[in-house]
């Protein structure tokens, strides 16, 4: 099966004296969910920035298929003065919108609101909805369920995992139990 993400011998640090990664290699294939765990400041979110080519490695290479990202803080991922529906329509087709709204337990009427009018959990589900509608090859998930209660967290992770037949996922989490339950492989950095 072709690799959707291939990281080879990656080295990166914000200063050459202190590297976050030194010779990191990682592959991700369609159907796989891998979890990255580590302490705050270990470089988990930085790895996503490297994959998205927002940062350049000091050495090594990253080859990646089309990615969509779900950020830990949903308030920072939406513009405050546009409705959620408009922001979703700007980046993704909405032909399957109703199907996914039901799956993530979100009402259509909430998409007609501004981001600050929703709770953190509602906004995070809208962020996940937008990412899935973008039809990425790889879904980069940065603590995607941390703003959700336990029941919704389980429902959202189960819904995400049902999409592994069409994509791969890379999950950043501090929740080792979530990582071990959901991931094919847990990578500690």
Residues 6+ apart with CB under 8 A from 3: 27, 28, 29, 63
Distance, in Å, from the CA atom of 127 to the CA atom of 26, rounded to the nearest integer, reads: 26
Q: What is the pLDDT of residue 175?
A: 86
Low-confidence ranges of the chain (pLDDT < 50): none
Level-2 CATH architecture, domain 3-188: 3-Layer(aba) Sandwich (3.40)
List pLDDT tens digits, range 112-149. Answer: 999 999 988 889 889 999 999 999 999 999 988 887 77
Contact 4, 64 (CB under 8 A): yes
Distance, in Å, from the CA atom of 96 to the CA atom of 170, rounded to the nearest integer, reads: 23
Please give the structure tokens belonging to residue 158: 């189960």
User: Measuring CA to CA, which residue among 4, 60, 6, 11 is closest to residue 30?
Assistant: 4
Q: What is the pLDDT of residue 154?
A: 83
DSSP state for residue 15 in the 8-state scheme: B
List pLDDT tens digits, range 58-71. Answer: 999 999 999 999 98
Q: What is the pLDDT of residue 15?
A: 85
Q: What is the pLDDT of residue 109?
A: 97
pTM: 0.91
Contact 106, 129 (CB under 8 A): yes
* Angle of CA points 147, 7, 36, to nearest 5°: 30
Q: What is the pLDDT of residue 12?
A: 95
Q: What is the pLDDT of residue 158?
A: 87
């Amino acid at each position: 099966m072709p690799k959707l993400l291939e990281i080879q011998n990656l080295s990166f640090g914000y200063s050459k004296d202190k590297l976050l990664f030194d010779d990191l290699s990682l592959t991700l294939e369609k159907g796989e969910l891998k979890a990255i765990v580590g302490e705050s400041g270990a470089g988990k979110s930085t790895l996503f920035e490297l994959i998205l080519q927002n940062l350049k490695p000091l050495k090594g290479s990253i080859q990646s298929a089309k990615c969509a990202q779900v950020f830990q803080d949903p308030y920072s991922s939406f513009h405050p003065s546009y409705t959620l529906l408009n922001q979703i329509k700007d980046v993704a087709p909405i032909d399957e919108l109703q199907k996914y709204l039901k799956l993530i337990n979100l009402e259509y009427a909430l998409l007609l609101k501004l981001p600050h009018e929703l709770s953190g959990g509602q906004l995070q589900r809208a962020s996940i909805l937008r990412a899935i509608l973008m039809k990425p090859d790889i879904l980069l998930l940065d603590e995607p369920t941390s703003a959700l209660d336990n029941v919704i967290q389980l429902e959202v992770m189960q819904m995400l995992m049902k999409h592994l037949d069409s994509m791969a996922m890379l999950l950043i989490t501090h929740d080792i139990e979530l990582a071990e339950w959901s991931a094919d492989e847990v990578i500690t950095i």
